[in-house]
Structure 1
Amino acid sequence: MEDKTTAVEAAPRQAPPSAQGRTALLGAMFLMATSAIGPGFITQTTGFTVKLGVAFAFAIVVSILVDIAVQMNVWRVIGVSGQRAHELGNAVLPGIGYLLAGLVVLGGLVFNIGNVAGTGLGTNAMFGLDPRIGGALSAALAIGIFLSKKAGVALDRVVILLGLVMIVATLVIAVTSAPPVGDALVNVVLPETFDFVAVTTIIGGTVGGYITYAGAHRLLDSGTTGPENVRDITRSSVVGILVTGVMRVLLFLAILGVVAGGVTLATDDPAGSAFQAAAGDIGLRVFGLILWAAAITSVIGAAYTSVSFMTSSRTSERRRNLITVGFIAVTAAIFVAIQETPVTLLVFAGTFNGLILPIGFGVLLWVAWRRRDLLGGYQYPVWLLVIGVLAWLLTLYLGYNALLALGDL
């Protein structure tokens, strides 16, 4: 189907993006990607690799395609409109934006306690440091980023650097574990088994909750908005998902090589034991580095995105950064006080994440379909709207499962 965007999209750009603009685009991509790659991401990928083996390759590919469909629509609507998701929600139906903001902030607050805990576990694996001390020091580092004079630039550079560190470190272990890559490639096309629960779970973990809006809201703050930037917006949304996909594939291969070799993973720390089996004590240290990088970037992403829902486009950068500092400090203090995140709270927050995606995504698709005025007259591509609606139907299933989880609490 022909993409009837507008002449603006096809028109040549008036000027190439500056070096700072390119860094901001990369930062938005990696903020979304690293927000998704958290402690839960590592746990989920490890669990399904052990359960499904090479067949998990097919589930990963399907999830990446669905994630791309979601993020292309989210980034385009937010990027072209120049408004945050909750601002668009209130413009469509007064009050729904506040509901969406409340769900994101509450879910992000609870999950950020878990993210801080993840940094503590990472420093423990690397250096044997007390998790509470490691978590507190990591939170202080994240706070320092938002207190710096050029917080936006610092944010972009940190998430890009740590994202690359995670990918390279995981690649090293994936090569060391010698996974059956050929069998995995065959299962991409002809899976030995298909697990719908695995697909929907990792989709929710990649584009659910605050993660859905992390990159798109960062894009707004970087100034890359409007129909004239559609190409950059679209490219960034796809590349961001591909970065997440690459990390999941590498982690899958790293774990697969160990499992295929007949190693039984420890039940209390399956991912850590897999890395240790692949490369000894060095592997365990590398795992600690990956876990810490995944956790601290998720701390940054959760705090940044949650605060973006607590503020508006008119809020000054300094005030937004100070609120973000407070958000991180509160979650770190709670972790240090209780030393762990209660499972019930995580399940409760996970329920919110399951509800956020269909509500927020539905609002954005409505804007794309019926509220051209909010897009500055931009004619939304029909093909993109169609694949967005198909993906939204799947998010309804995720939301239904979330409600079932709430009923089990």
Structure 2
Amino acid sequence: MNQRLNPRMTDKERKRFLRGAIFLMATSAIGPAFLTQTASFTEDYLASFAFAILLSIIIDVGVQLNIWRVISVSGKRGQEISNMVIPGLGYVIAILIILGGFAFNIGNLGGAGLGLNVLFDLPLEIGAAIITVITITIFLIKNYERVMDVLLQIFGSVMLLMTGYVMLSTNPPYREALVQSVFPEDYLLMLLPLVTIVGGTVGGYISFAGGHRLVDAGITGKDNVGFVSRASIYGILTTSVMRVFLFLAFLGVVSAGFSLDENNPAATPFLVGLGELGYYMFGVVLTVAAISSIIGVAYTSMSFLRSFHPVFEKHNGWFIVVFITASSLIFISIGEPVMLLILAGALNGMILPIVLTTILVASRKKSVVGDYHHPTWLIVFGAITVLFTIGASILAFEDIVALWFN
């Protein structure tokens, strides 16, 4: 088993890495795509969307606890583990995750451009170009991982505080949302939004963001299982709080009879709740969400190449720069259709069962985890999550196809 713990690491460093992994996963999951998806689905399904939000949080637990623990105990990244389970599978998963991350990154740059448009009235393309330069500069810094950890903690805290304040100002129907989180009007109708937001918040690259960050930091091995489990739980809680805040903010607006702006739906609760000040707060939230998500998707997507050839490990920062630049050029050339973000989330949700099944099989292979015993309850929880997401994906497939052709 690959034990990569640095024995000279201080408690302060471990806590920094812990916070870095938490916010890398959380902010990766809460980008412009998630804002768009939440706005669209809340307007379509109203309080019933609470059911999809609650189930997505439960699924998060089943996914993240399994993936973080197995990755950290093994000291290997997701693609290496997949290749040890089925030779060649790691390459397939890496390609799927990088393609999904690429689609999301185009949306992230669109969100960045929109955020700067709100704040400074810049054209979307100019705003996206500015954010591209900023994020590329971060990854060209020698110790970019340290800078990334600090920035993501700051940005994540800003998003939580501002969105929570807006949620309170819109006065959403809390009781109705609580009831419909368990008893929605139509369970089957919730399958498409469920698969989509699961894909957008824990599918694809996001599943591995925190785990890969801990491996890169050297926090691996059986002795760190408790530490890693706490990190994954804190990450899930952080993401879940933000998810609930956003949903309730949108619900408060649409329940009061307001229609979301077709061109900028995510801005509506900020504008309705706090007027012009709220609109500028939205610009700040969208900009930091976009930058955070660009950092997360680029870092994690390219981590799926690092073990395939020494050149990827040696020049990882430059490959991240190429990934961000290519995403930016595509956005500037063809734009960012809202449907692309929703579709990318849905497809990532369909990939999730493959990824999680691979991790569950690996959790029982000594060649991967050594003498570590993965808890049976986690395997059962993970297996139920796999079966549920497979069933939901099959039932929602027709709607996903309709999205593509419409």
TM-score normalized with structure 1 length: 0.89
Instruction: Tell me the equivalent position of 2:305.
Output: 310
* Partner SS, residue 240 of structure 1: helix
1:218 aligns with 2:213: yes
- The reply on whether 1:321 has 2:314 as its aligned counterpart is no
Work out the CA distance in 2 between the residues paired with 1:117 and 1:229: 39
| Partner Cα separation in structure 2 for residue 385 and residue 64 of structure 1 | 17
Alpha-carbon offset, residue 157 of structure 1? 0.8
Contact 2:253 2:268 in 1 (8 A): no
Q: Which one of the candidate residues 326, 345, 362 is aligned to 1:367?
A: 362
Check the 8 A contact 1:42/1:271 in 2, yes or no: yes
Aligned AA (1:286): M
Range with bigger deviation, 180-189 or 85-94: 180-189
| Residue number in structure 1 paired with 2:51 | 58
Q: What is the distance in 1 between the residues matched to 2:178 and 2:350?
A: 34
Runs of 5+ unmatched residues, structure 2: 1-6
The 3 A distance-change label for structure 1 pair 367 and 205 is same
Matched letter for residue 146 of structure 1? F
Higher mean displacement: 151-160 or 304-313: 304-313
The CA deviation at 1:351 is: 6.1
Give the direction of change, closer, same or farther, for the CA distance of 1:47–1:352 in structure 2 (3 Å limit). Answer: closer
State the partner residue of 2:250.
255
5+ residue gaps, structure 1: 1-13
Question: Do the aligned residues in 1 keep the contact of 2:72 with 2:215 (CA within 8 Å)?
Answer: yes
* Distance in 1 separating the partners of 2:173 and 2:13: 41
Pairing 1:48–2:44 present: no
Report whether the alignment pairs 1:166 with 2:173. Answer: no
Q: Does 1:378 align with 2:372?
A: yes
Given the superposition, is the C-alpha separation of residues 106 and 157 from structure 1 closer, same or farther in structure 2, using an over 3 Å criterion?
same
* Further displaced range: 25-34 or 396-405: 396-405
- Distance across 2 between alignment mates of 1:347 and 1:267: 15
- Partners of 2:98 and 2:39 in 1: CA distance: 28
Native 8 Å contact 2:196 2:343 kept in 1: no
Secondary structure, aligned partner of 1:310: coil
| 4+ residue runs over 6 A deviation | none
| 1:204 aligned residue (199, 203, 218) | 199
Matching residue within 105, 126, 133 for 1:112: 105
Give matches, 1:5-404, under 5 Å: 18-188=11-181, 190-191=183-184, 194=187, 195-197=189-191, 198-312=193-307, 315=310, 319-338=315-334, 340-341=335-336, 349-350=344-345, 352-369=347-364, 371-397=365-391, 399-400=393-394, 404=398
- The CA deviation at 1:102 is 0.9
**Are residues 398 and 321 of structure 1, via their aligned partners in 2, closer, same or farther at CA, if it must alter by over 3 Å?**
farther
Tell me if the contact between 1:106 and 1:349 (Cα under 8 Å) persists in the aligned partners: no
Q: Distance in 2 between matches of 1:196 and 1:220?
A: 36
Give 1:324's aligned amino acid: I
Q: Percent identity?
A: 44
Deviation at 1:30, TM superposition (A): 0.9
Contact kept, 8 Å, 2:196 with 2:347, in 1: the verdict is no
Give the partner amino acid of 1:393.
L
For 1:367, the aligned partner's letter is A
Q: Aligned pair count?
A: 394
- How far the C-alpha of 1:322 sits from its partner, in A, is 1.7
Deviation of 1:275 (Å): 1.7
| Contact preservation (8 Å) 2:196, 2:349 | no
CA contact under 8 A between 1:27 and 1:159: conserved in structure 2? yes
Structure 1 residues 17 and 291: CA distance shift in structure 2, 3 A: same
Contact 2:51 2:190 in 1 (8 A): no
TM-score using structure 2 length = 0.90
